[in-house]
Structure 1
């Protein structure tokens, strides 16, 4: 049987990195085994559902280049791929369980269930449903209905049964049915079936061979196995991925920094770097190579190599990896990705030639950790009128200002300003004014950038050209003179 896996998120409004890692591992497993990657939207929670939240999922997967083979927007022979559109399918299997006598109506109110729970806790017992409604007579049910009570449907959990499975990540797991909290609900009082029931139906009918998900689902697995057995479905193989923790070893949350895919995208992490980094959370290639393309990840990925211990989300490593990707990214593609950040910073991009802008990106890319930093580092090239930093102004004196004026005169006499003629003009200025070291180079840098450090000046002037360089020099001279007067 060919491998079929699924990513089945609930649309909650954002895609957490844990969900993104689950999607990625499913995708890598499918592609490594020439299988099928299915996307299914679990949108039965009508109170929290919104179409905007569904779009967030699509955008995140597309940004990460995780293209699903079947699912919404794609179709497939096992659809529909949204649970809200599969209610009739679920009804059929609810009736099968009713016919087999494996479910029953439970009329207990929230207050009664809370009281049951508190009594058990007071006795030092783990909370579980006692089966109070398991043996209600027809008359008792009618009486409760007459009171206006709407029942849930509970599945009868067999007593003293140990449910076992060989987890592809965690190894052999055995959970006794006494630990499952009693007979569990499969249909809510509003008629909406719950997660543990619908996920079994969907996975079985969509021929899912491997269920790869977070380890927080381990407690759901025995309940689902019991339902697979009750309905006569083939049980898939399970793989429960380790938790993702912050560097303080607590569950990754907002206080550690960004946690949603959209936030990483907005900050300017490259999708290739983000995906590469996520792949190394709980899995590591045998050859130790860390910078891996999607094809290399697919080729190397083996679910058996996934570590069962928690994975630590190291922002420093992500930043290093993103920096490495930025350095090697195609210049023109990188420029296209950077332009929105420049526009957001207020630059009128249409003023600049795209090829010129690409050269500016090439000159500054090594400074970038994330793309959102681009306006800060590219400002030197884009803005001719700038404020001179306080420390730079304090550095200037009459002699150093004379260096700038003399250099400006040299530039004005040049036919063409490029890296070579710039160096010559600086050298001549130094020789004629007997200025050297920082007394020569620093005043020119300050006059051209307003800062005491930054990009190589020969690269800057060759990209600015004579006209813009002179404009900056004259602007700086008047600004420094005004300050010194």
Structure 2
């Protein structure tokens, strides 16, 4: 059975790069009828942040990436948090020492720093000089007698080559002499990433390791570690780098500014807070390095599962296009039912200080659905409907080719017509106002422009009749009255 894992370290916010890795693993598991495991690699206790773990879990759930085994779910290979598995790593490190595949190293940080500085002075690549690799039993006993706690290092072969096959990039071969004897177990008893990763992947029967390409240099070391244990390694697939929108550098780890001053969001929670839909983020992230088809960019979750193939993941870096994401998010918003969009807008409007009823939310959704790119665009389009007073220049009430007196007559006539209309619905409002323009000798655009400014304080707003219905009869009449008063007060 295919068993894949997403194994993040909760040291910061849930980045979209990590989200893409999780997504590809999830898609592969679902496509193959396998299992998607979430494992928390929290052994770096100096950088561990509990809030980062909460952010990660919330982000995965928002994207709909449910896990079959892991935190809050359990499973037969738990625990799924590495800090709860420390005795295992210590046991397996000791096994390697016992069979001569690893050894204790007693070098102090000061000595290691001095070695690196001397190597740089000689123009050599800095690395461990293997000073403790061949310690005698007597030397080890002396260190133990002094109470020095060692680290455990892997005894990397000094000759030959190590070849790993990558499902995306093909064979990758390195000379063993270019690899240092990496630390497996630190002096505090905590494992390094390398030991914990390999032990857990083996014990959890992981069949495929799909991760970012920054781990390519570590893969030969991991293969050597598998061999030292006598285990078969899983299949490896290293995902392409994600570039910023210019294509000239790696996507930032933190929110940055684009050339036009726009925000370049990078954390999953930032996109959620900015009003992006999880369906759009799922679709977009799937395409950052993978091709669904040559003709289509929009697809459902089910279609992505059916089509996902590691062979269609690109080797080349993939550009994170905010323009494409914005376009895609707008498309997904327009595909929602009005009721669904209304429900999603309620908390967005509330954060902007607009407490709306279910009916008002539906009215807002109808007005803005064709006009917004993100949910957060909505409050700015309808905020006029939820304030007590409007501030605008009364001169805006006078439309092109209209006089002040024309405008005053139009405001009075509109107020009387809207007071008398039996139903304050879009259709009834349109049926009342279109004939009114003709009776006043005005074009519809002139009358509607005057009413729009009076009711919204703006020259550009959502469709007029829906806007009037949202604002409501009482406030519309009051605003028309106020507009007339403001215009009368203006010098002739």
TM-score range, shorter chain: over 0.9
Is the CA contact (8 Å cut-off) linking 1:107 and 1:151 kept in structure 2? yes
Which of these residues, 265, 270, 285, is aligned with residue 263 of structure 1? 270
* Residue of structure 2 equivalent to 1:280: 287
Instruction: Encode CA deviations 1:225-250: one digit per residue, 9 max, x unaligned.
Output: 11111111121000000010102221
Residue 69 of structure 1 corresponds to 68
1:346 aligns with one of 345, 353, 358: 353
- Residue in structure 2 matching 1:332, options 322, 336, 339: 339
Of 170, 186, 204, the residue aligned with 1:188 is: 186
Distance 1:122-1:398 versus aligned 2 partners, 3 A rule: farther
Aligned to 2:163: 164
Cα separation, partners in 2 of 1:169 and 1:480, compared to 1, 3 Å: farther
User: Separation in 1 of the partners of 2:307 and 2:489?
Assistant: 64
| Distance in 2 of aligned mates of 1:481 and 1:260 | 53
97 and 75 in structure 1: CA distance in 2 versus 1, 3 angstrom threshold = same
CA contact (8 A) 2:240 2:289 kept: yes
The 1:200/1:483 distance shift into structure 2, 3 A limit, reads farther
Deviations 1:164-198 (A, max 9, x none): 12211111111121222x11100111111110011
C-alpha distance after superposition, 1:249-275 (max 9, x if no partner): 211113251111010111110001001
Q: How many Å apart are 1:162 and its aligned residue?
A: 1.2
Shift in alpha-carbon separation, 1:341–1:157, aligned structure 2, 3 A: same
Q: For residue 80 of structure 1, report the CA deviation from its aligned partner.
A: 0.7
Secondary structure of the corresponding residue to residue 129 of structure 2: coil
SS of 2:236's equivalent in the other structure is strand
In the alignment, structure 1 residue 477 sits paired with structure 2 residue 475: no
Aligned partner of residue 115 in structure 1, secondary structure: helix
Structure-2 residue corresponding to 1:453: 460
Name whichever of 475-484 and 201-210 sits farther off: 475-484
Structure 1 match to 2:239: 241
For structure 2, list consecutive stretches of 5 or more residues without a partner in the other structure: 259-263
On the 8 A contact 2:152/2:184 being kept in 1, the answer is yes
Q: Secondary structure at the match of 1:367?
A: coil
Secondary structure at the counterpart of residue 406 of structure 1: helix
Q: In the alignment, is the contact (CA less than 8 A) between 1:389 and 1:451 conserved in 2? A: no
Separation in 2, partners of 1:263, 1:168: 32
Please name the residue that 1:415 is paired with.
Answer: 422
Cα distance in 2 between the residues matched to 1:453 and 1:484: 25
1:372 counterpart = 2:376: yes
Distance 2:487 2:149 in 1: 81
Q: Distance in 2 between matches of 1:62 and 1:390?
A: 50
Q: Does 2:142 correspond to 1:154?
A: no
Partner of 1:403: 410
Name the structure 2 match of 1:206.
204
Q: Pick closer, same or farther for the CA change 1:288–1:431 going to 2, 3 Å.
A: closer
Kindly tell me the number of residue pairs found equivalent between the two proteins: 480
Query: In the TM superposition, what is the alpha-carbon distance from 1:429 to its structure 2 partner?
Result: 3.6
Instruction: Sort the Cα spacing of 1:483 and 1:188 in 2 relative to 1 into closer, same or farther, 3 A.
Output: farther
Matches for 1:96-175 after TM superposition, within 5 Å: 96-145=95-144, 149-175=148-174
SS of 2:233's equivalent in the other structure is coil
User: Greater shift after overlay, 89-98 or 143-152?
Assistant: 143-152
**Matches of 1:421 and 1:16, distance apart in 2:** 50
Q: Distance in 2 between matches of 1:336 and 1:421?
A: 26
**CA displacement, residues 283-323 of structure 1 (integer Å, 9 cap, x when unaligned):** 01135321111111101110110000001000000000000
Is residue 416–residue 466 contact of structure 1 (8 Å, CA) maintained in 2?
Answer: no
Q: 1:390 offset after TM fit, Å?
A: 7.7
CA RMSD of aligned residues (A): 2.1
**Aligned pair 1:392/2:378, yes or no?**
no
Deviation at 1:52, TM superposition (A): 2.2
Gap regions ≥5 residues in structure 1: none
Note closer, same or farther for the CA distance 1:479–1:143 as it changes in structure 2 (3 Å cut): farther
Aligned partners of 1:403 and 1:433 also within 8 Å: yes
User: In 1, are the aligned partners of 2:28 and 2:308 still within 8 Å (CA)?
Assistant: yes
Distance 2:428 2:53 in 1: 57
Q: 393-402 vs 42-51, which deviates more?
A: 393-402
After superposition, the Cα gap between the structure-2 partners of 1:390 and 1:120, relative to the gap in structure 1 and judged at 3 Å, is farther
Moved more, 256-265 or 272-281: 256-265
1:344/1:111 Cα in 2 relative to 1: closer, same or farther (>3 Å)? Answer: same
Deviations 1:138-181 (A, max 9, x none): 3433444566643211111001221112211111111121222x
**Greater displacement, 40-49 / 201-210:** 40-49
What is the alpha-carbon distance in structure 2 between the residues aligned to residue 390 and residue 241 of structure 1?
A: 59
Q: CA deviation at 1:338?
A: 1.3
Give the distance between the partners of 1:92 and 1:433, measured in 2 at CA. 91
The 3 A distance-change label for structure 1 pair 371 and 48 is same
Task: State the shift of 1:437 in Å.
Answer: 5.5
